[in-house]
Chains A and B, each alone.
Chain A
């Protein structure tokens, strides 16, 4: 794949003697939406945190838009500023207003003027339906609203790709859809997305590919239809039967 936006090659990572990732390889093309799923502790979150260097790894290579994440001369802050990330617990900055959450990095990292940053921020808040809340503080919003702000915050940097680390796992059930709707719209706009999630409905709707992980290894890496049709590994079949039963 010559136009790979994210390329992971033979990635291995250890916490001390414990190996969390074993020889993981995959590629994500520009505009592709890839869902990463698997049982807890399988290394999904660790894998996507390696993509923007939030987690260091000991072996293998991660290349984002032609730049090696683990390279000794890589400007990690610059690389990270081009890759948006959304966290399970939102991680909005609680001491800043919603709009300030969106403008801080625009001003400090991209050196946009406060006026430009503000305009961009308000545009994105409108896009996620929260422009009316721009002056509030994160703790005054519901979980679903906070996560939508977090997505808008990541988008404010004009990222070339977006990483989602279980974006709906910390939400009350009735708030999951408002977040998924934003993500679906983003996927349809052609954003390159790597999404760790158990929301199989989302995967069916917009994913191009599904990666299934177990015990630090990529067990399945196939198209959505293949995955939901008949996953090859027993482990993935078992996983699907467990989460799709109800």
Chain B
């Protein structure tokens, strides 16, 4: 293979005149994070809400929640991205649809990308929240309501704080997934990190350098997430909780 290696390309000016290729990629990382973080906030809130509803025992609410989860879980992420970008604006009232289609770049890609990633991830969060809640002994709800807490208060003060501690490790994975999945947004024209690595390759023909740089930037970013979540796990750790719940299970 006769490949002309040129790591110096990262410090060369990109043709758009905004600065070096490295700077160009870093701005891409900015869009990756802006997309992933906004989607993550929505996914956490929506997913927690739906996951909790699915444990309330109300038959119709549970069915509605299950339907929502199955809908967004069973369609590939790429297809959902296209649905949000190409199909949803056509289904909306004409004026609203037109307004969405006429949003200037990058917002015309950014908004559908955030919505797509948020809903796609929310059902995965919902599954985990549900599993976390169901892993708690039923007696905890009894104990809360027996003291006069309403169901809402029992969830707020007793059930959810425990459930979230239990599902922190899988939530870390979801957080990393949403960052990585945001690369799919390049297909609807969002110039995030992967999109810019591809553009760099097309401008400069240095395919290895472009994607090697993107890879390193992704790894460093997710590493920060891992370390941050580990710190969070330590910060909210309850003395003896994991060991105690294990012992309680054994005693049952």
What residues of chain A have their CB less than 8 Å away from a CB belonging to chain B? 49, 52, 54, 77-78, 80-83, 85, 87, 89, 91-95, 104-105, 108-110, 136-140, 153-154, 157, 170
Report whether A157 and B161 are in contact in the complex, using a CB–CB cutoff of 8 Å.
no
Report whether A93 and B158 are in contact in the complex, using a CB–CB cutoff of 8 Å.
yes
Report whether B162 and A91 are in contact in the complex, using a CB–CB cutoff of 8 Å.
no
Residue of B nearest to A146 (CB): B244
Report whether A80 and B239 are in contact in the complex, using a CB–CB cutoff of 8 Å.
no
A/B interface sample: 18 pairs, CB < 8 A: A52-B146, A77-B145, A78-B148, A80-B145, A82-B148, A85-B146, A89-B251, A91-B137, A93-B158, A94-B162, A94-B240, A94-B245, A95-B241, A108-B153, A108-B157, A137-B239, A137-B240, A170-B251
Interface residues on B, range: 20 to 34
Q: Which of B144, B147, B162: most chain A Cβ within 10 A?
A: B147
Report whether B147 and A91 are in contact in the complex, using a CB–CB cutoff of 8 Å.
no
The answer to whether residues A108 and B149 also contact, given A87-B143, A93-B158, A138-B244 and a CB cut-off of 8 A, is yes
Residue of A nearest to B247 (CB): A139
Report whether B142 and A87 are in contact in the complex, using a CB–CB cutoff of 8 Å.
yes
Report whether A109 and B149 are in contact in the complex, using a CB–CB cutoff of 8 Å.
yes
Q: How far is the CA of A122 from the CA of B238 in the complex (A)?
A: 22
Whether, in the assembled complex, B91 has its beta carbon less than 8 Å from a beta carbon of chain A, the answer is no
Rounded to whole Å, the gap between the CB of B244 and the closest CB of chain A is 3
Rounded to whole Å, the gap between the CB of A74 and the closest CB of chain B is 13
Residue of A nearest to B236 (CB): A95
| Contact residues, B139-175 vs A (CB, 8 A) | 139-140, 142-150, 153, 157-158, 161-162, 165
The total of Cβ contacts below 8 Å across the A-B interface reads: 87
Q: Which of A78, A87, A94, A140: most chain B Cβ within 10 A?
A: A94
| Cβ–Cβ < 8 Å partners of A93 in chain B | 140, 143-144, 157-158, 162
Q: Give which listed residue, B137, B140, B147, B245, contacts A81 with CB less than 8 A.
A: B147
Rounded to whole Å, the gap between the CB of A168 and the closest CB of chain B is 14
Q: Known A-B contacts: A54-B146, A77-B149, A85-B142. Give 4 more (CB < 8 A).
A: A94-B241, A94-B244, A105-B148, A139-B240
| Cβ–Cβ < 8 Å partners of B216 in chain A | none
The answer to whether residues A140 and B239 also contact, given A94-B245, A95-B165 and a CB cut-off of 8 A, is yes
Whether, in the assembled complex, B248 has its beta carbon less than 8 Å from a beta carbon of chain A, the answer is yes
Q: How far is the CA of A18 from the CA of B142 in the complex (A)?
A: 22
Q: Give which listed residue, B137, B139, B244, contacts A139 with CB less than 8 A.
A: B244
Whether, in the assembled complex, B243 has its beta carbon less than 8 Å from a beta carbon of chain A, the answer is yes
Rounded to whole Å, the gap between the CB of A134 and the closest CB of chain B is 14
Report whether A157 and B148 are in contact in the complex, using a CB–CB cutoff of 8 Å.
yes
Report whether A80 and B147 are in contact in the complex, using a CB–CB cutoff of 8 Å.
yes
The dominant DSSP class at the B interface is helix
| Cβ–Cβ < 8 Å partners of B238 in chain A | 94-95, 137, 139
Q: How far is the CA of A106 from the CA of B251 in the complex (A)?
A: 30
| Contact residues, B226-252 vs A (CB, 8 A) | 238-241, 243-245, 248, 251-252
Rounded to whole Å, the gap between the CB of A164 and the closest CB of chain B is 12
The answer to whether residues A89 and B148 also contact, given A94-B241, A139-B239, A140-B240 and a CB cut-off of 8 A, is no
The answer to whether residues A77 and B148 also contact, given A95-B162, A139-B244 and a CB cut-off of 8 A, is yes
| Cβ–Cβ < 8 Å partners of A140 in chain B | 239-240
Q: How far is the CA of A138 from the CA of B248 in the complex (A)?
A: 12
Report whether A109 and B147 are in contact in the complex, using a CB–CB cutoff of 8 Å.
yes
Q: Give which listed residue, B137, B144, B161, B165, contacts A89 with CB less than 8 A.
A: B137
| Cβ–Cβ < 8 Å partners of B157 in chain A | 93, 104, 108
| Cβ–Cβ < 8 Å partners of A154 in chain B | 147
Report whether A81 and B148 are in contact in the complex, using a CB–CB cutoff of 8 Å.
yes
Report whether A157 and B245 are in contact in the complex, using a CB–CB cutoff of 8 Å.
no
Residue of A nearest to B147 (CB): A105
| Cβ–Cβ < 8 Å partners of B248 in chain A | 89
| Cβ–Cβ < 8 Å partners of A81 in chain B | 147-148
Report whether B244 and A54 are in contact in the complex, using a CB–CB cutoff of 8 Å.
no
Residue of B nearest to A170 (CB): B251
Q: How far is the CA of A68 from the CA of B157 in the complex (A)?
A: 28
Q: How far is the CA of A94 from the CA of B149 in the complex (A)?
A: 17
Q: How far is the CA of A138 from the CA of B238 in the complex (A)?
A: 10
